[in-house]
């Protein structure tokens, strides 16, 4: 669905730079594969190699680890796109105040059974994205740690046991985040001027000055 008054070419141009969109697409696909295979995998144990889906889960997990590292690099060096301060506002009183105001703005709109107008610089949406980045990073790091030092024993103690415990504990949060993230994106696509094609487009993003 395309908002009124917006041309097809404009709708497909994203404010996000191409590296950000490519890494986002790769991470999205990797996370979907990871969650899907987690439902049917049989882990390696007692000298076995696990089933095919466990192998796919491992390989895709390593890809996700590489992509999240690449994303952090892109986040560090990019000059345009969403500022890091919007993604991680937790140590700035000014950012936290803006976040709280945006939470109230969303709450008031939802109380009236409406979606708030889409805002590229929304403190709430940006903070949620930041939490997603941290969550996926934790999942990728703990999964890679198990792969590297786990010895095919998910019940091992020490660092391996801690990594497996965290990995399993966070998996339900990843499900909740994915469902909520996709659901809100679809709602905004149909009921605001936000267009999903922009994030998945290969068109060049327009230059914009980063927010100070």
Tell me the average confidence (pLDDT) per consecutive run of 10 residues in the chain, 212 residues long: 39 62 88 92 67 89 94 84 87 94 91 82 91 94 86 66 88 93 86 74 53 40
Within a domain: 212: no
Within a domain: 86: no
Contacts of 50 (CB under 8 A, 6+ apart): 41, 42, 43, 44, 152
Name the residue range of residue 186's domain: 8-42+50-80+95-198
Q: What pLDDT score was predicted for residue 139?
A: 94
Give the position of tokens 């680890």. 65
Q: How far apart are CA 24 and CA 67, in angstroms?
A: 9
Within a domain: 156: yes
Within a domain: 87: no
Q: What pLDDT score was predicted for residue 131?
A: 94
Within a domain: 203: no
Within a domain: 27: yes
Residue 76, domain CATH: 1.20.950
Within a domain: 187: yes
Q: Which residue from 210, 203, 209, 182 is spatially nearest to 14, judged by alpha carbons?
A: 203
Q: What pLDDT score was predicted for residue 113?
A: 83
The pair of structure tokens assigned to 57 is 């889960």
Q: How far apart are CA 180 and CA 188, in angstroms?
A: 12
Taking a C-beta distance cutoff of 8 angstroms, is the pair 118, 126 a contact?
no
Q: What pLDDT score was predicted for residue 210?
A: 43
Q: How far apart are CA 212 and CA 209, in angstroms?
A: 9
What is the total count of domains within the chain?
Answer: 1
Taking a C-beta distance cutoff of 8 angstroms, is the pair 45, 111 a contact?
no
Within a domain: 211: no
């Amino acid at each position: 669905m395309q908002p009124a008054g917006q041309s097809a070419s404009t709708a497909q141009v994203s404010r996000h730079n191409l590296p950000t969109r490519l890494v986002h697409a790769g991470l999205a696909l990797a996370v979907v594969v990871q969650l899907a295979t987690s439902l049917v995998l049989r882990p390696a144990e007692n000298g076995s190699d696990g089933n095919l889906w466990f192998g796919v889960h491992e390989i895709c997990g390593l890809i996700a680890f590489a992509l999240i590292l690449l994303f952090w690099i892109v986040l560090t060096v990019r000059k345009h796109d969403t500022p890091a301060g919007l993604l991680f506002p937790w140590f700035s009183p000014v950012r936290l105040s803006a976040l709280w105001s945006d939470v109230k703005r969303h709450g008031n709109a939802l109380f009236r059974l409406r979606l708030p107008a889409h805002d590229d610089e929304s403190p709430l949406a940006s903070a949620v994205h930041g939490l997603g980045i941290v969550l996926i990073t934790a999942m990728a790091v703990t999964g890679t740690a198990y792969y590297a030092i786990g010895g095919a024993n998910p019940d091992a103690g020490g660092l391996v046991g801690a990594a497996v415990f965290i990995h399993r504990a966070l998996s339900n949060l990843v499900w909740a985040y994915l469902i909520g993230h996709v659901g809100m994106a679809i709602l905004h696509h149909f009921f605001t001027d936000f267009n999903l094609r922009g994030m998945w487009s290969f068109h060049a993003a327009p230059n914009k000055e980063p927010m100070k």
